[in-house]
Amino acid sequence: MTSIRQRLLVWLIAALTVATFAALAASFLAARDGVNELFDYQLKQLAFSLRSQPYATAPPGDFFFPDQDLGADFITQVWDRSGTLIHYSRPGTDLPRAVRTGFSNVEWKGQEWRVYTTLEDRRVIQVAHPLALRREMIAAIAQRIVLPPLALIPVFALIVWVGVGRGLAPLSRIARAVATRSPASLDPLQTAGLPAETQPLVGALNDLLERLSKALAAQREFTADAAHELRTPLTAVKLQIQLLETARTPEEREAAFTQLKQGIERSAHLTEQLLTMARLEPEALERPFTAVSLDELARNVAGERAAIAHETGIDLGVMEAAPVAVPGDVDGLRVLLGNLLDNAIRHTPSGGRVDVAVTRLADGAVLEVTDTGPGIPPAERARVFDRFYRRPESEGTGSGLGLAIVKRIADRHRAEVTLEDGPGARGLRVRVRFPGPSAKPAPS
């Protein structure tokens, strides 16, 4: 499992370590350059101080100046115009004469020397000291520079550990607040005192809790409405069974049997609609959208109900089916059109017509179902999309869920449902207008 704490610690400590070593390296290089410049300056000044010394042409051994020996770390040598060595500061430790003036490094008898050579008044003055001296001093300086920061790295790591822990403490508090809640507690989380970085997370959680609360409230409302609606047909079925049991004549039994059959059909239809509505609830998982051919869908769904329409004496057909595809859920759109046709067939009297049409638009498509039934008055057209709403004068086995299901599916597809009068101000025309193929599905 990936840990934010571990990742922050690793990156911060790694960055701190790299920065420390980079600073130490820069300090070491600066110290080394400073030591080299200092020693070179000393060599140069020592050479200049030898310009005014009285040198004779006697053998070199007689002109050793012990009082001018500046220590065992430095060697001075002077040659005259003829190339004769007329002075040296350390007997037995002579160096070869430099071939050029200025600074140079000389390897002599297994040791490296830093040599400065200058030409003054036809005399060659040479001052040198071993490079090992510089390296020892640079090493000592480096030790004093490097050790304190390295010793402080564990201290810095501890500070980073504590700081990261305190910085992530609000996340731990949020996790504890969520973990200790009961399933029924959907109140929003407190945002007071939280850092700005956690505000989006808490805001998203509160939004989720609010949507979950609404979904649970809708589910409870739906369950209560469903229980209420199922109670009536089930009670009617129970009474019809009692009437069938007490019937004495064949005519009474036939009438009771017919009523029982209608009650069972009404209950079955209501149960089917309830199950369909439950599958369309916000918390249900939705299938991904694909390209759905509306003209093919219209012909298939109308063909499935052709026998029912023919049995009731209704002329059902597809008047227009322009080839057009919209992004959607094919099963959901099948339920949408099936409910529209079922409502139209149920409310259209024998001898009437139910027509289906698919029209292509420049920015979408329209699916229409037109019937020659009694229609719906304009004042009631907004209410018919409510769950379990039935017009007082409506007849048949309607559950009051058909158009509510149609509206729910249309909303998911960003489609607009409108109710209009049929041709000649007779019947009802239901128009479902879909956006263009490039439109995205509506969120749940």
At 257, which CATH number?
1.10.287
How confident is the model at residue 358, as a pLDDT?
92
For residue 95, being part of any structural domain is answered with yes
How confident is the model at residue 102, as a pLDDT?
87
Please give the structure tokens belonging to residue 128: 């040198």
Residue 94 CA to residue 75 CA, distance in Å, equals 8
HEC profile for 380-424?
HCCHHHCCCCCCCCCCCCCCCCHHHHHHHHHHHCCCEEEEEECHH
With CA atoms as reference, report the closest residue to 283 among 361, 236, 334, 220: 220
Residue 22 CA to residue 39 CA, distance in Å, equals 26
How confident is the model at residue 368, as a pLDDT?
92
User: Which residue among 278, 306, 321 closes a domain?
Assistant: 278
The answer on 146 and 12 residing in a single domain is: yes
User: Which residue among 278, 299, 327 closes a domain?
Assistant: 278
Could you identify the residue written with the tokens 């019809």? 240
pLDDT < 50 regions, the chain = 58-71, 228, 283-285, 392, 396-399, 438-444
Q: Is 10 helix (H, G, I), strand (E, B) or coil?
A: helix
For residue 181, being part of any structural domain is answered with no
The answer on 294 and 266 residing in a single domain is: no
The answer on 74 and 46 residing in a single domain is: yes
Residue 359 sits at φ, ψ, to 5 deg, of -120, 135
Residues forming a β-bridge with 154: none
For residue 25, being part of any structural domain is answered with yes
For residue 345, being part of any structural domain is answered with yes
| Chain centre distance of CA 125 | 75
The answer on 292 and 431 residing in a single domain is: yes
User: Which residue among 248, 278, 308 closes a domain?
Assistant: 278
Quote the pTM value.
0.45
What does the angle CA 115 – CA 121 – CA 123 come to, to the nearest 5 degrees? 45
For residue 370, being part of any structural domain is answered with yes
The number of helices, as runs of H, and strands, as runs of E, in the chain is 9, 12
Residue 354 CA to residue 418 CA, distance in Å, equals 17
The answer on 135 and 237 residing in a single domain is: no
Domain that holds residue 322: 288-435
How confident is the model at residue 203, as a pLDDT?
80
C-alpha dihedral (226, 229, 233, 235), degrees to nearest 10: 90
How confident is the model at residue 59, as a pLDDT?
47
How confident is the model at residue 355, as a pLDDT?
92
The answer on 371 and 250 residing in a single domain is: no
For residue 184, being part of any structural domain is answered with no
The answer on 152 and 14 residing in a single domain is: yes
The answer on 148 and 50 residing in a single domain is: yes
Could you identify the residue written with the tokens 């007071």? 192
List Cα–Cα distances, 221 to 88, 225, 278, 345, 397, in angstroms. 112, 6, 12, 30, 22
The answer on 9 and 152 residing in a single domain is: yes
The answer on 241 and 135 residing in a single domain is: no
How confident is the model at residue 272, as a pLDDT?
66
User: Any idea what the CATH number is for the domain that residue 142 is in?
Assistant: 3.30.450
For residue 88, being part of any structural domain is answered with yes
How many domains does the chain fold into?
A: 3
Please give the structure tokens belonging to residue 391: 């017009």
For residue 161, being part of any structural domain is answered with no
The answer on 303 and 266 residing in a single domain is: no
Residues 6+ apart with CB under 8 A from 119: 101, 125
Residue 428 CA to residue 381 CA, distance in Å, equals 10
The answer on 137 and 60 residing in a single domain is: yes
List Cα–Cα distances, 347 to 341, 428, 439, in angstroms. 10, 10, 34
